Amino acid sequence: MAQDRIAAVPVSIQLQPDAVGLPIAGNFIGFGYETCAVAREGYFSSNNTHLVQLYRTLSPLGLVRIGGNVSDHTRYVPDGTPMARSEQETSVINQAVLSDLGGFLKTTGWKAMWGLNLGTGTKAEAVQEALAVETALGDRLQSFEIGNEVDLLPRSNHAYTNYFAAYQDYKAAIRQALPSAVFSGPDVAGATHWALDFVQTEARDMKLLTHHYYRSGAMKPDATIETLLATDSRWESILQDLQRTCADHEVAFRINEVNSFYGGGKAGVSDTFASALWCLDYMFLVAAHGGEGVNMEMDVNQLGFVSHYSPIFREKNDQLTARPEYYGMLAFSIAGQGQLVPLTVSKTGLNLTAYATKKAPGNIWVTVINKDQTQEAKLEITLPKNCSKASAYRLIAPSVASKDQVKLAGREIAPDGTWTPEIIESVPVKAGLADLRMPPTSAVLVHLQ
């Protein structure tokens, strides 16, 4: 009754279910790690059943990206002692931890993109590491990358021609030892023109074009909830450039390192419910621009501590916790399947976005994200002709700044990493319209059948 007394902003959503929409890749969901995470014995292991389940809960065939700044400060020593270090030191991986990673990937069904050391290593060491990774991962190896954030590497001197010459040199040496090697790249931090130049010459010999994204830096004044929930028009323009260039050259792109604020995230922002709403919206935004997927960066960072933005947070005792951002990924895993359905949303003053997907006629999910911190929305969704009923999963928390008590469809992630919906809300349908209200800073997945 109290809710009825609050004026909600009307939002009308019209679907075009017969239009041909962009497909969403089956391995769209991904995680990203610094290479030093692999040096932690027992973490990437089929025996780490909690982590295995948290992966499986999201997807049966996602993609892990191993790389980051630490990849350019990592050595492979076949029988050495594994050491996880920050970028100020040298991390060491051996054949045993690589084999454990291979077993973990087989158990989860996921694959891995592996970053090789272009920053401080040698070409011969990169070849040796590539052979070791291929041996350990086998068919779980998706592709190699040569260097991390290559536009920032000292050896490139911020010149694309310097980087590309080194890339070709390393690639040729690796191919000589491993003719079947597959490559992605260029793995840029922000020099999008490097990525576009890379496609011009490498489109026929690359798996994916890769690019990174962070909303801002953790130490900057704008590392706030308000910034995180605001539209980033600059990034949308970059996505348009990536989409157009990749379509012209018939190659896919992936945002293979992404999260809220670089530098490990901002406590009180990156670990709050705001990150769940941002993450869900961001994943759909990339999908809507034809991206093949995202890799949400997590766990230990290049500075040596576990990042505040980690969707799966590892406590000091190695206990794993599903943080709010994980719930955004979980919501996408439900509603982000099949192909996108074009839609139109009535103009309002709300900070609100909406997306729709379908796996089959008469089976449509509409995802609405109300990022407005003060205003409710009153949704009216026009049902397609072959749908007659609607139900809803709500993504909610006590407040936008909540760090826990996040729920999707009334249920939190279980201690063993599983999740099942508890509250599937029946949505009233009258005269072909599904009618429901949304509180501020919440999301809803509406299933039309």
**Residue partners of 404: CB distance under 8 A and separation at least 6:** none
Determine the pLDDT at residue 182.
98
**In this structure, are residues 228 and 274 in contact, taking their beta carbons and an 8 Å threshold?**
yes
Determine the pLDDT at residue 360.
87
In the sheet with 9-15, reading across from the earlier edge strand, the strands are 343-345, 9-15, 377-382, 433-438, 429-430
Q: Kindly tell me if the per-residue pLDDT of 93 is higher than 90.
A: yes
- Tens of pLDDT, residue by residue over 385-405, are 999 999 999 999 999 999 999
- Tens of pLDDT, residue by residue over 132-164, are 999 999 999 999 999 999 999 998 888 999 999
Of 431, 449, 241, whose CA–CA distance to 365 is shortest? 449
| Mean pLDDT, rounded, of the chain | 97
For the ranges 1-15, 218-232, 261-275, 418-432, the lowest mean pLDDT is seen at 1-15
If asked whether residues 361 and 384 sit together in one domain, one would say: yes
Determine the pLDDT at residue 6.
62
Q: Which of 303, 335, 367 is a domain's end point? A: 335
Determine the pLDDT at residue 1.
34
Q: Kindly tell me if the per-residue pLDDT of 28 is higher than 80.
A: yes
- Tens of pLDDT, residue by residue over 372-381, are 999 999 999 9
Structure tokens belonging to residue 49: 């059943």
**In this structure, are residues 437 and 376 in contact, taking their beta carbons and an 8 Å threshold?**
yes
Q: What is the CATH number of the domain that holds 374?
A: 2.60.40.1180
Q: What is the CATH number of the domain that holds 225?
A: 3.20.20.80
Can you tell me the mean pLDDT for 404-430? 98
Q: Which of 286, 307, 335 is a domain's end point? A: 335
Q: Kindly tell me if the per-residue pLDDT of 122 is higher than 90.
A: yes
**In this structure, are residues 93 and 59 in contact, taking their beta carbons and an 8 Å threshold?**
no
If asked whether residues 324 and 404 sit together in one domain, one would say: no
- Total domain count, the chain: 2
Q: Which of 335, 351, 383 is a domain's end point? A: 335
If asked whether residues 225 and 120 sit together in one domain, one would say: yes
**In this structure, are residues 343 and 356 in contact, taking their beta carbons and an 8 Å threshold?**
yes
If asked whether residues 127 and 172 sit together in one domain, one would say: yes
Of 419, 400, 418, whose CA–CA distance to 408 is shortest? 419
Task: Name the amino acid, one letter, at 276.
Answer: A
Instruction: Label residue 7 by pLDDT band (50, 70, 90).
Output: confident
If asked whether residues 277 and 361 sit together in one domain, one would say: no
The whole-angstrom separation of Cα 449 and Cα 435 is 15
If asked whether residues 17 and 56 sit together in one domain, one would say: no
If asked whether residues 277 and 351 sit together in one domain, one would say: no
- Structural domain including 134 reads 29-335
The whole-angstrom separation of Cα 305 and Cα 319 is 15
Can you tell me the mean pLDDT for 352-373? 96
If asked whether residues 64 and 104 sit together in one domain, one would say: yes
If asked whether residues 201 and 245 sit together in one domain, one would say: yes
% of residues, the chain, pLDDT over 70: 99
If asked whether residues 276 and 184 sit together in one domain, one would say: yes
Q: Kindly tell me if the per-residue pLDDT of 4 is higher than 60.
A: no
If asked whether residues 300 and 194 sit together in one domain, one would say: yes
Q: Kindly tell me if the per-residue pLDDT of 2 is higher than 60.
A: no
What does the CA dihedral 55, 59, 60, 61 come to, rounded to 10 degrees?
-100
Of 242, 163, 161, 148, whose CA–CA distance to 195 is shortest? 242
If asked whether residues 235 and 313 sit together in one domain, one would say: yes
Can you tell me the mean pLDDT for 345-351? 96
